[in-house]
Amino acid sequence: MHETERSFERDIIPMARAEGLALAPWNVLAGGKLRSDEEEEKRRQTGEKGRTLTGPQWERSETEKAMSKALEKVAVEIGAKHITAVAIAYVMQKTPYVFPIIGGRKVEHLLSSIEALNITLKPEHLTYLESIIPFDIGFPSNFIVSVQAVHIENA
């Protein structure tokens, strides 16, 4: 569960809320791809690049870039040092009992994770972050909605 992959919100989060369950989502930072343009350029110049566990592409997709920019905007507004801290705080505010699994390799990663514990995002920040990437309601809901739309148009 992370800001660019919201399918967790479709069934898992509503169930957890209804049943009072805790969640331990992984990949909260999109495999390290939630980073600033400055960080990406630094990685390019130093040759550090990024994780390639799920494929050869270490650079961010356009979706990941858009979400990173949004996280950066919120970080500036609230005075956070790291966009990853904002990303972790966002996930932790989605439901009452969230214990994100964070895969960090450096001291800086640990520090940004700790910073997230002191961040409380306002409802407008959550709404803004959720507006960056459309929520896909998934099957069968998207099928039912599209069939209803056809019936309404043909009525």
> Is the model's pLDDT at 151 over the cut of 60?
no
Distance CA 140, CA 18 (A): 21
Domain map (residue ranges) of the chain: 7-154
- Other CB atoms within 10 Å distance of the CB of residue 138: 13
**DSSP string of 58-120, one letter each residue:** -SPPHHHHHHHHHHHHHHHHHT-S-HHHHHHHHHHTSSSSB-------SHHHHHHHHHHTT--
Domain boundaries 7-154, corresponding CATH code: 3.20.20.100
What percent of the chain clears pLDDT 70, i.e. is strictly above it? 85
Task: Tell whether the model's pLDDT for residue 51 goes beyond 70.
Answer: no
pLDDT value at residue 59: 79
Give pLDDT tens digits for 112-121.
899 999 999 9
